[in-house]
Amino acid sequence: MAENVLLRHEDVPDIHKLDVYLAHDGYVAARKALTTLKPEEVTALVKESNLRGRGGAGFPAGVKWGFLPKDSDKPVYLCCNADESEPGTFKDRAIIEKNTHILLEGILITCYAINAHMAYIYIRGEFAYGAKCLERALAEAYDQGLFGKDIFGTGFDLEVYVHRGAGAYICGEETGLIQSIEGKRAYPRIKPPFPAVYGLFGCPTIVNNVETLACVSSIIKNGPDWFRSIGPESGPGPKIYGVSGHVEQPGMFELPMGMPLREVIYDYAGGIKDGKQLKAVMPAGSSFPVLTPDEIDVHMDFDSMRAIGAFLGTAGIIVMDEDTCMVRALEIIDRFYHHESCGQCSPCREGTGWLHKLLVRLEEGNGKAEDIDLIDRICTNMMGNTVCVLADAAAMPTQSYLTKFRAEFVAHVTAGGCPLKKAAAQPEAA
């Protein structure tokens, strides 16, 4: 692992406290940026580093910042996306709670680069402790003059607000998030216009994920070449992989981008629990296709994942062992999307509910053979037909389950319910 990869900084106790963070070169990068670099030079360094967004889509951060209009007289805003509602994903929480200032320093540098004097950290309602950590760290930093007026005597001013959500997945979608900060129902907006042009309060706005912003200070401190030396050129840098499900040691592992999925599961997360066989992996939270055991030699970076028809997403890796019923697993996933659909678009509102109903029917033994193709058709009709991609986030994994585990769906029809459940209910042969 490359030296200085600091997203969590586990080796330093109390790094979330300002004095400890300062003693470990904290805010050195911010001082360097504000006192020796022009805003456009900071953006250029981030562009050169090829830092790609860690919120799911992998869009290059520096390129996004470059989309801000040059001739606007409106204020520019930064929104830090700390909604982290993707199932199986808990990396941002770790940064917020354990290395709070690396995020705040990233926010300060980014605001300087994009000429924003106001930033919002939108944190999901359930992260009550995280919100406290942020408030506490901000208070310490304001006290030391790291935020507020005339930072480092440069004349640059910045105010940062922590805005707590009320617990809805859709508030993580960038335009839903913006609507929510504006005090409205978090109905995503049609894009274009993208937030960089028409965002918060109708002003140019950059929305970046917590982990993305947490990478910024190390790029400024160590240079873009250093950042690009960690993992693949096409999407480098440190990455927090979260592993949950049927593994011996679920947890978070900060490693270079591009780790083989097999290595993360077997070498870091201790392999499959109780010596069982691996059945399936969702490598990117729940919104993207499922992988089978023969696909886990893939490298966990944006382009390698795309090459096999998968996605890196949030790198929230959900592992399922041989005893998992894939129909039941999918039923749980689609229940989530049905519950979280904001209801604005009918293909999503109706489609997610319909998928869930059909999956319950299959799992309970009342499914028909034609239900399987019907599920597939509903997915096709949902994708690309809604304002945001929540519908796709439900349809993509659903279609992948049907394709890769079709026999199991068919078996639910022929056996009149879950064969695994029935087998478990049988008395042991004498």
Ligand X SMILES: Cc1cc2nc3c(=O)[nH]c(=O)nc-3n(C[C@H](O)[C@H](O)[C@H](O)COP(=O)(O)O)c2cc1C
Nearer to ligand X, 61 or 158 (CB): 61
Nearer to ligand X, 389 or 420 (CB): 389
Nearer to ligand X, 388 or 402 (CB): 388
Task: Pick from 39, 55, 204, 256 the residue near ligand X by CB under 6 A.
Answer: 55
Binding letters toward ligand X, positions 373-402, x by CB under 6 A: ---------------xxx--x---------
Q: Could you tell me the smallest distance in angstroms from the CB atom of residue 397 to ligand X? A: 13
* Contact by Cβ (8 Å): 252, 326: no
Burial 249-281 (b: 16+ CB within 10 A, else e): ebebbbbbbbbebbbbbbebbebbeeeeebbbb
Window of 79-87, 138-146, 147-155, 352-360 that interacts with ligand X by CB under 6 A = 79-87
Task: Pick from 94, 207, 219, 259 the residue near ligand X by CB under 6 A.
Answer: 207
Helices (H), 288-405: 302-307, 326-340, 346-363, 369-382, 390-404
Question: Which residues lie closer than 8 Å to 424 by C-beta, 6 or more apart?
Answer: none
User: Three-class SS of residue 355?
Assistant: helix
* Contact by Cβ (8 Å): 277, 296: no
Count of beta carbons in the 10 Å neighbourhood of residue 140: 20
* 54 touches ligand X by CB under 6 A: yes
Nearer to ligand X, 95 or 291 (CB): 95
* 315 touches ligand X by CB under 6 A: no
* 363 touches ligand X by CB under 6 A: no
Q: Could you tell me the smallest distance in angstroms from the CB atom of residue 59 to ligand X? A: 5
* 301 touches ligand X by CB under 6 A: no
Q: Could you tell me the smallest distance in angstroms from the CB atom of residue 421 to ligand X? A: 32
Q: Could you tell me the smallest distance in angstroms from the CB atom of residue 15 to ligand X? A: 22
Task: Pick from 100, 179, 208, 341 the residue near ligand X by CB under 6 A.
Answer: 208
* 63 touches ligand X by CB under 6 A: no
Nearer to ligand X, 79 or 325 (CB): 79
Footprint on residues 157-196 left by ligand X (CB under 6 A) = 169-170, 172-174
* Contact by Cβ (8 Å): 54, 138: no
Nearer to ligand X, 55 or 256 (CB): 55
CA 277 to chain centre: 28
Window of 38-46, 51-59, 108-116, 217-225 that interacts with ligand X by CB under 6 A = 51-59
Tell me which amino acid residue 374 is: L
Q: Could you tell me the smallest distance in angstroms from the CB atom of residue 133 to ligand X? A: 17
Task: Pick from 85, 222, 286, 344 the residue near ligand X by CB under 6 A.
Answer: 85
* 283 touches ligand X by CB under 6 A: no
From CA 405, how far away is CA 112, in angstroms rounded?
Answer: 49
Structure token pair of residue 227: 């950042």
Structure token pair of residue 102: 């690396």
From CA 381, how far away is CA 394, in angstroms rounded?
Answer: 12
* 43 touches ligand X by CB under 6 A: no
| Residue 220 to residues 28, 144, 343, Cα–Cα distance (Å) | 9, 21, 42
Nearer to ligand X, 46 or 118 (CB): 46
Site size with ligand X, rule: CB under 6 A: 24
Residue 263's H or E segment, with its range, is helix 261-263
- Long-range CB contacts (within 8 A, 24+) of 72-76: 72/203, 72/204, 74/202, 74/203, 74/204, 75/116, 75/117, 75/118, 75/203, 76/114, 76/115, 76/116, 76/117, 76/203, 76/204, 76/205, 76/206
* Residues binding ligand X (CB under 6 A): 53-57, 59, 81, 83-86, 169-170, 172-174, 207-209, 212, 388-390, 393
